[in-house]
Amino acid sequence: MRVAFISDIHANLEALEAVLKDIDGQRVDEVICLGDIVGYGANPNECVEIVSKRCPVTLLGNHDAAAVDLLSTQNFNIHAKIAIEWTSKNLKKESGQFLKSLPYKSLRPPMTLVHATPYEPNMWYYITSLEEAAFNFQFFDTQICFIGHTHIPIIIVLDKNKELYVHQDSSIRLSDVEGARLLINIGSVGQPRDRNPKSCYGIFDSDEGTFFYRRVAYNIEKSQMKMKRSRMPEFLISRLEDGR
Ligand code: ZN
């Protein structure tokens, strides 16, 4: 089984289309979406429609939840708040219904899937340190947990000796870390924040026992132009080209 994981699309249609085109050349069996289809970008309905058709499994992200009033924006920064208000106003009824139907978590051994954290996935915590990662390893039983939410791709390994470390490569072979458990953040399609503006997604091949990231260039200027027309905050527009 070969699965492509996409996450944090954030209504960036140009990025989503470029990533799906790249996935078409990767012989995958299915595409799974870990949430945040909307928020920030100018094409929420188009992105929801594509993901709903393409992904047999899609999780709820915090921006998705906020756009359909399942979550208050009180903890969002001002830019995110403005984007969510615009998104809620422009979301079609069918798109909203789809987002409301999404789960927080999916268990597909050997994988656990969540948008934010395996510990209370409905609380939208972040994993930004090894301490937080160590804590979260206690809250899933499978070998691997795939997450999104921070927009920063990272592979964290808990090896058979219970040593915890960050894997320093953009691919990993399970046979090289036998007995280890993994927490993998698959990065962001529509708003990468690791100083690389290219879209990020990941492919897990359970037969070969491999995981690797793909980076995909897309038409950033076109996405930015649409955001300008939708009067999104300048900060959200400029961060796309910086990947931050
Ligand atoms: Zn996000």
The pLDDT of residue 220: 98
For ligand 1, the distance from its centroid to the CA atom of residue 176, given in whole angstroms, is 31
- Average the pLDDT over 216-232 and give the result: 98
For ligand 1, the distance from its centroid to the CA atom of residue 175, given in whole angstroms, is 31
CATH number at residue 229: 3.60.21.10
For ligand 1, the distance from its centroid to the CA atom of residue 233, given in whole angstroms, is 16
The pLDDT of residue 229: 97
For ligand 1, the distance from its centroid to the CA atom of residue 240, given in whole angstroms, is 13
For ligand 1, the distance from its centroid to the CA atom of residue 187, given in whole angstroms, is 9
For the chain, the straight-line distance linking the first and the last C-alpha, in angstroms and rounded, comes to 33
- Average the pLDDT over 198-207 and give the result: 98
Total number of domains in the chain: 1
For ligand 1, the distance from its centroid to the CA atom of residue 178, given in whole angstroms, is 31
For ligand 1, the distance from its centroid to the CA atom of residue 220, given in whole angstroms, is 17
Query: What is the pLDDT confidence band of residue 211, given thresholds at 50, 70 and 90?
Result: very high
Question: What DSSP designation does 161 have?
Answer: T
For ligand 1, the distance from its centroid to the CA atom of residue 179, given in whole angstroms, is 31
For ligand 1, the distance from its centroid to the CA atom of residue 157, given in whole angstroms, is 23
CA–CA gap between residue 36 and residue 23 (Å, rounded): 19
- Average the pLDDT over 45-67 and give the result: 98
Q: Which structural domain, as residue segments, surrounds residue 33?
A: 2-242
Per residue in 71-81, pLDDT tens? 999 999 999 99
Q: Which residues contact 203 (CB under 8 A, 6 or more apart)?
A: 2, 3, 4, 5, 26, 28, 211, 212, 214
Residue type, 192: P
> CB neighbours (10 Å) of residue 177?
17
Q: What is the mean pLDDT of the chain?
A: 98
For ligand 1, the distance from its centroid to the CA atom of residue 162, given in whole angstroms, is 30
The pLDDT of residue 120: 98
No. of helices (H) and no. of strands (E), the chain: 8, 12
